[in-house]
């Protein structure tokens, strides 16, 4: 790493389909925020490379990529952005979407990121969630969203492996946002939760 200090970061947390990507894309347009979605980082890998193939072997089944590999790909991506002059930790706060997704990833990232806030996008209505994911599969080319069994598996994996990540952070860092409302309402509540957590340097 070029800099030994941990990168300031905000976590966008929630189950698949909770709207992390939608919120992240909008908030990532703010001057001091850099939105990084782990799923997008994986999908941008060369599909014919060993890592690209390994990613597909997990994601098409609705499974998580192994922790060490995930954190390695993440760090490599961030370091690449830094070398390219597209990320400056003194100026940007990372808005992380989809990482860390396991307690092990929290540990592996402990010295890499400094978590300023965890925004938890909460969805109570499971049927609405499945409908949302099915609709997304039709719109975007997401083989991992195409089958109901895969969608259900991803929700189970979230409940089993990802939800415990919340307990790994102090309660005072966690902001709960109702994600069962129109995207603009979610955006308002997320923005409210982030005021004061982001560097103001321009």
Q: Which residues bind ligand ADP (CB under 6 A)?
A: 16-17, 20-21, 38-39, 42, 58-59, 63-65, 70, 98-99, 101, 105, 144, 154
Q: How far is the CB of 3 from ligand ADP (least distance, A)?
A: 22
Q: How far is the CB of 199 from ligand ADP (least distance, A)?
A: 24
Which is closer to ligand ADP, CB of 61 or CB of 176?
Answer: 61
Tokens of 55: 């990613």
Which is closer to ligand ADP, CB of 38 or CB of 177?
Answer: 38
Q: How far is the CB of 174 from ligand ADP (least distance, A)?
A: 18
3-state helix, strand, coil in the chain (%, to 5): 50, 15, 35
Give 160: exposed, middle or buried? Use CB within 10 Å, 0-12, 13-18, 19+: exposed
Q: How far is the CB of 11 from ligand ADP (least distance, A)?
A: 11
Which is closer to ligand ADP, CB of 32 or CB of 166?
Answer: 166
Report the C-alpha gap between 139 and 134 in whole angstroms. Answer: 9
Residue nearest to ligand ADP (CB): 39
Strand order in the sheet with 174-178: 33-37, 93-97, 7-14, 113-122, 174-178
On whether the CB atoms of residues 120 and 59 are closer than 8 A, the answer is no
């Amino acid at each position: 790493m070029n800099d030994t200090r941990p990168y300031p970061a905000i976590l966008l947390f929630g189950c698949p389909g909770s709207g992390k990507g939608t919120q992240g894309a909008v908030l990532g347009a703010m001057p001091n925020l850099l939105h990084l979605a782990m799923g997008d980082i994986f999908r941008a890998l060369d599909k014919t490379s060993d890592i690209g193939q390994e990613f597909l072997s997990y994601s098409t089944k609705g499974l998580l990529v192994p922790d060490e590999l995930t954190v390695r790909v993440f760090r490599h991506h961030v370091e690449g952005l830094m070398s390219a002059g597209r990320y400056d930790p003194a100026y940007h706060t990372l808005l992380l979407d989809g990482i860390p997704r396991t307690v092990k990833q929290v540990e592996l990232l402990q010295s890499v990121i400094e978590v300023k806030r965890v925004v938890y996008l909460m969805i109570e209505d499971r049927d609405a969630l499945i409908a949302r994911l099915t609709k997304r599969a039709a719109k975007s080319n997401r083989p991992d969203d195409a089958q109901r069994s895969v969608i259900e598996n991803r929700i189970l994996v979230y409940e089993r492996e990802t939800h415990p990540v919340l307990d790994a952070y102090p309660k005072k860092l966690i902001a709960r946002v109702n994600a069962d409302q129109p995207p603009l309402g979610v955006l308002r509540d997320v923005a409210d939760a982030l005021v004061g957590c982001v560097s103001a340097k321009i």
